[in-house]
Amino acid sequence: MPPQLGIFGGTFDPPHVGHVAAAIAARDQLATDSLHVVVANDPWQKSRRRSVTPSGHRLAMARLAFDSIAGIEVSDIELARGGSTYTIDTVTELERDGSETVLVMGPTAAAGLSTWHRARELAQRVTIAVIQPTGGSLARLHGWRTISVFMDPLEASGTRVRELLQGPGGPEAEATLARLVPLAVMSYIADHKLYSA
């Protein structure tokens, strides 16, 4: 059986417990030889719609979020390459001869795959592992090889975390953030005054 390379890419603005749980579920269920958490340098489809935290901060937070989790490696490959982030380029750089590449993503990202740069070529080269709620139906994407990774749903999203960080604060917001964001990441955010209103 050829080695499997897992890529879990994203903006990670900021990384939260949902990202960590998804990566662990993918590592365990896909049995990849390695799972790379790849931080986007310039996520062009997002940066055109909203302000994105500088990539160096997002990389540092991702390293804190995934620190010491066996089998998961945070990669700076897209930051080192610079410019707009295109997954096809990352796949080309990370692939080894004979390896099979699996892209791990949530259902929202999977639904937009047809808009990705060189999508037809990407569809021929990778398998898409879609994060699904435990007990859900198997993922099906027309024109793509798909498999499912199941995990218990978590009410965590980058949008929700940013809203809480930019809001008025208070005990309830702080308690919610403590559930959604790893402590080391929250400390980094506070130290660097990120997401301030």
Angstrom distance (rounded) from CA 184 to CA 67? 10
Please give the model's pTM, rounded to 2 decimal places: 0.93
Task: Indicate the CATH number for domain 4-153.
Answer: 3.40.50.620
pLDDT digits (tens, 9 = 90+) for 74-128: 999 999 999 988 999 999 999 877 789 999 999 989 999 999 999 999 999 999 9
**What are the domain boundaries of the chain?**
4-153
Angstrom distance (rounded) from CA 129 to CA 151? 12
pLDDT digits (tens, 9 = 90+) for 143-196: 999 999 999 988 899 999 999 999 998 999 999 999 999 999 999 999 999 998
Residue ranges of alpha helices (H) inside 71-143 are 77-81, 87-94, 107-111, 119-125
pLDDT at 49 > cutoff 90: no
